[in-house]
């Protein structure tokens, strides 16, 4: 390569210089250097301050030609400060930017240098794992959680998302009126979290993949189903559990955890035709079609508490008012809600009805 560069430089100094730059970065990439080393080497080669910024964390690395950390304000993103800048892309997604800070006009080879530096930065990010971000490429997330994904491809997708191979992950299926990146930042403020919206009925389902997840931090206006992956099973199994849990989320309990559903999760496996044909579900469907919101709220509160007085407290009503509503519900559903068997049937019918009416 050096001999070729010398011969070409005699014919065209620009071509010879470009080849030398390519060889320079090829050597750095073979040595698997990190971002700080790339910035130092590039600053020495360019003989000016060189910078690297990763969008996900806002991390900035700036080095001077002397190999030390550059002082003063970072130039990336400050119009007019960077003499030349080039975006860093990985799998067709812009993940950062690299730039030079020359005091004079750009060097003819500056773009070649930055192109190679951007490639080296992308390689380093992929090798060491990207810095923490929120929104991710939906295609990459779908590859990570998809049922038909080859496990080697799944592992690579997770690595590109920043997760270590085989590491335990928390998975959330989300329906939200709140921007998904905000939800991710709230429920996983101190760890790596990736979010994307996958296409589907009702506008799609949000996905959160995170190293930690605070179920109490989901904001109002969000329904979520949570599941964990121990890292010893394909991630698509955890994603299926998260979507199942999401179907059990309600306005009263907007966050459902699959591990806490227990035997209730079996209801999600009942074929829709069989569920609709069940007499209790059929009765509830007919009743719900003409019921007032107060009636359904009363049934929900009573099924959740199993107690007339606790339901009254939950509804902020006198227990006699709730008693009258329950009498009406019992007649409409042909169930004695005051008996353990009647209450159990009502709970199962209400849950099953919600599952078959779910369109997400």
Instruction: For residue 200, name the pLDDT band (cuts at 50, 70, 90).
Output: low
How much of the chain is helix, strand and coil, in % rounded to 5?
55, 15, 30
Task: Specify the CATH number for 138-266; select among 2.60.40, 3.10.530, 3.30.70, 1.10.3470.
Answer: 3.30.70
Alpha-carbon distance of 310 to 304, in angstroms, equals 9
- pLDDT score of 57: 62
Structure tokens that stand for 296 in this block:
């359904």
The pLDDT, as a whole number, for residue 303 is 94
User: Residue range 296-309: average pLDDT?
Assistant: 93
Residues contacting residue 107 through CB under 8 Å, at least 6 positions apart: 46, 113
Q: Report whether pLDDT(21) > 60.
A: yes
| Average pLDDT, integer, range 30-48 | 92
Of 144, 142, 140, 167, whose CA–CA distance to 155 is shortest? 144
Q: Rounded to an integer, what distance in angstroms lies between the CA atom of residue 160 and that of residue 152?
A: 12
- CB of 126 within 8 A of CB of 91? no
Q: Which has the minimum average pLDDT: 126-140, 150-164, 212-226?
A: 126-140
* 70-118 tens-digit pLDDT: 877 654 444 346 788 999 987 666 778 999 998 888 888 999 999 999 9
Long-range contacts of 148-156 (CB under 8 A, 24+ apart): 149/234, 149/236, 151/234, 154/234, 154/235, 154/236
Q: Give pLDDT, residue 131.
A: 46
The answer to whether the beta carbons of residues 300 and 276 sit under 8 Å apart is no
Alpha helices in 222-307 (DSSP H): 235-248, 258-261, 272-277, 279-290, 293-305
Distances from the Cα of 48 to the Cαs of 35, 39, 73, 186, 335, in angstroms?
A: 17, 11, 15, 40, 81
Output the average pLDDT for the chain. 86
pLDDT, average across residues 122-134: 68
- High-pLDDT (> 70) share of the chain, %: 88
pLDDT at 165 over 80: no
Q: What class does CATH assign to 272-357?
A: mainly alpha
Q: What is the pLDDT of residues 346-356, one digit of tens each?
A: 999 999 999 99
The answer, yes or no, to whether residue 203 has pLDDT greater than 80, is: no
2-128 belongs to CATH 3.40.50.1100: no
């Amino acid at each position: 390569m050096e001999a070729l560069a010398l011969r070409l430089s005699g014919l065209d100094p620009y071509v010879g210089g470009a080849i030398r730059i390519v060889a320079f970065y090829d050597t750095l990439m073979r040595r698997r250097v990190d971002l700080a080393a790339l910035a130092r080497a590039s600053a020495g080669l360019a003989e000016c301050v060189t910078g690297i910024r990763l969008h996900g964390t806002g991390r900035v690395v700036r080095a001077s030609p002397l190999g030390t950390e550059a002082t003063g304000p970072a130039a990336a993103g400050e119009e007019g400060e960077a003499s030349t800048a080039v975006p860093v892309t990985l799998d067709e997604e812009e993940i950062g930017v690299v730039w030079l800070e020359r005091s004079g006009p750009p060097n003819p080879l500056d773009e070649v240098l930055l192109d190679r530096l951007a490639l080296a930065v992308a390689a380093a990010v992929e090798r060491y794992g990207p810095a923490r971000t929120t929104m991710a490429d939906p295609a990459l997330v779908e590859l990570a959680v998809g049922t038909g994904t080859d496990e080697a491809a799944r592992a690579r997708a997770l690595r590109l998302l920043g997760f270590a191979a085989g590491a335990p992950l928390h998975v959330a299926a989300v329906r939200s009126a709140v921007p998904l990146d905000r939800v991710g930042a709230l429920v996983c403020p101190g760890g790596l979290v990736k979010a994307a919206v996958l296409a589907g009925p009702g506008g799609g389902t949000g996905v959160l993949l995170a190293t930690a997840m605070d179920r109490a931090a989901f904001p109002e206006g969000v329904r979520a189903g949570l599941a964990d992956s121990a890292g010893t099973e394909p991630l698509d199994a955890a994603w299926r559990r998260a979507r199942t849990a999401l179907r059990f989320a309600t306005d009263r309990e907007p966050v459902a955890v699959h591990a806490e559903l227990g035997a209730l999760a079996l209801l999600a496996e009942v074929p829709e035709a069989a569920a609709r044909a069940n007499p209790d579900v059929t009765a509830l469907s007919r009743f719900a079609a003409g019921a007032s919101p107060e009636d359904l709220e009363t049934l929900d509160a009573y099924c959740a508490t199993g107690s007339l007085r606790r339901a009254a407290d939950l509804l902020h009503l006198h227990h006699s008012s709730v008693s009258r509503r329950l009498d009406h519900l019992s007649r409409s559903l042909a169930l004695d809600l005051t008996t353990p068997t009647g209450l159990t049937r009502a709970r199962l019918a209400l849950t099953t009805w919600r599952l078959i009416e779910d369109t997400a």
